[in-house]
Amino acid sequence: MHAYACQEKILPCASVLLLPCPARDPAAEVTQSLWYKQATGLTVAATTGQLGHMRSAMRRLLKYTLVIFATLGLYRACLTAQHGCMRSTAQKIESERSFEPDLLYRKDGGEPLILTRPDARTTLLFLEGFRAQAPAGMYADYLRELQAAGVNIIAPVYGLQSSPFDLRNRDWHIQEDMRTVTQIYDTAAALLPRNDRLVVLGQSFGALPALAVAAKAKRKPDAIILLSPLNSGLEFKAAGPVVFWLSQQTRWLQHLLLYTRPGIPPGRESEWDIVNAEMNRRMAATGWVNPEDSARYGHQVEQSAQWLESVLLPQVKEQRILMRWGDSDLFFSQSGFARFCEKLGQNANQIDCAPLRDTGHMVLLDNGAAQLKTEIRATLQH
């Protein structure tokens, strides 16, 4: 309809005002009507096209979302299956072992060992390594020899040591180990006469809490003994070729492969990194090896070693330190031990570092044990 045509209907008084409405133009009205219909049709068509594109995009989004959730579900199911399978295997093996029902220490060698005598003037805090099933039990005879020679022995169970599968594969942080051991040491130091000697020995991962004591304890140790200490030269060759490869890929592969079974490395009679064949077989017969190696913990140990060298070692000052390791160690490289010894030599520390010939990681149980025990006895006495 023409724009002015409405005036005749709405304003019939236009004639009174002498404002006549313009004449109708039927052709213009038809043209405008066609234009309106075309524009409306294009708008509807455009809107319909947009809705079609939106529906297609939503279908693709839903498809990708379902694929992502399905992949995540499959990934989670794979991890759950790995954990469940290894847990079942470990619990079957552990069903033949005995654990204290409440504290969950392993009974045949996994309990803490405290040996004292009234006339002893030297106390040794003995710290075994990571997730050891018998942290004191494997050295019980030797520790009793030291007690008979006039040394008090404190060999605690800390961290993930001496534990069944669920407890040793829980969420864990190195601060647990350092805080527990430092409190034990501070308690012993507070109860002993000031003139008594206090010596801390750390084997393998036990070097971490041992050096935490050296850096943080209220009373500094009279000496520190480090045996095959944790360092950034990790190789994990003792756990077999798969775990050795994993040790080079732990940052990402730990999220795909949770566990591996310990393998027998080249040149060894069993999983134990002991060169001496007779002693190796003797230790293998004890059943003190965990049935699983954890890739996640392998990565955590790697990070712990880096933190130890970069953060903790600079805080260790003016200490007397005896450090020994095996020249055939399969857990750590010889260059890693050498670098660690060099860093220990800073900050006015008195360092005595040397490898033991024809000896693996477990230096107190291998070919170099006799020489090492003589050196430890000398350190405890002077």
Q: Is the pLDDT of residue 13 over 70?
A: no
Cα separations in angstroms, 163 against 65, 104, 107, 181: 41, 6, 10, 17
Contact at 8 Å (CB) between 363 and 228?
Answer: yes
Burial (CB < 10 A; 0-12, 13-18, 19+), residue 30, is: exposed
What would the pLDDT profile of 82-114 be if each residue is shown by its tens digit? 989 999 999 999 999 999 999 999 998 999 999
Distance CA 10, CA 1 (A): 14
Of residues 319, 143, 302, the one with CA closest to residue 214: 319
Contact at 8 Å (CB) between 221 and 200?
Answer: yes
Distance CA 87, CA 85 (A): 5
Q: Is the pLDDT of residue 5 over 50?
A: no
Mean of the pLDDT values across residues 10-14? 44
Distance CA 224, CA 220 (A): 10
The 8-class DSSP code of residue 21 comes to P
Cα separations in angstroms, 57 against 49, 66, 68, 122: 12, 14, 16, 77
Range with lowest mean pLDDT among 8-22, 37-51, 93-107: 8-22
Stronger pLDDT, 263 or 101, i.e. the higher one:
101
The pLDDT score that the predictor gives to residue 372 is: 98
Which parts of 192-240 fold into alpha helices (H)? Answer: 207-216
Of residues 93, 134, 140, 132, the one with CA closest to residue 111: 134
Would you call 95 helix, strand, or coil by DSSP?
A: coil
Look up residue 26 and give its amino acid: P
Range with lowest mean pLDDT among 24-38, 125-139, 212-226, 297-311: 24-38
Look up residue 185 and give its amino acid: Y
The tokens for 166 are: 């669920």
The CATH number of 113-381 is 3.40.50.1820
Contact at 8 Å (CB) between 364 and 272?
Answer: no
Q: What is the edge-to-edge ordering of all strands in the sheet holding 197-203?
A: 113-115, 151-155, 122-127, 197-203, 223-227, 320-326, 350-356
| pLDDT band at residue 7 under the 50/70/90 scheme | very low
Residues 80, 85, 88, 91, Cα dihedral to 10°: -90
What radius of gyration do the chain's Cα atoms show? 38
Which parts of the chain fold into alpha helices (H)? Answer: 6-10, 26-94, 140-148, 165-168, 174-191, 207-216, 241-247, 250-253, 277-284, 295-307, 334-344, 369-381
Q: Please list, in sequence order, all residues whose beta carbon lies within 8 angstroms of the beta carbon of residue 125, skipping any fewer than 6 positions away.
A: 154, 155, 156, 181, 184, 185, 188, 198, 199, 200, 201, 210, 213, 221
What would the pLDDT profile of 343-354 be if each residue is shown by its tens digit? 999 999 999 999
Mean of the pLDDT values across residues 10-30? 52
Give me the residue spans of the domains in the chain: 113-381
What would the pLDDT profile of 164-173 be if each residue is shown by its tens digit? 999 999 989 9
- Note the pTM of the prediction, 2 decimals: 0.81
Of residues 297, 295, 290, the one with CA closest to residue 93: 290
The pLDDT score that the predictor gives to residue 79 is: 86
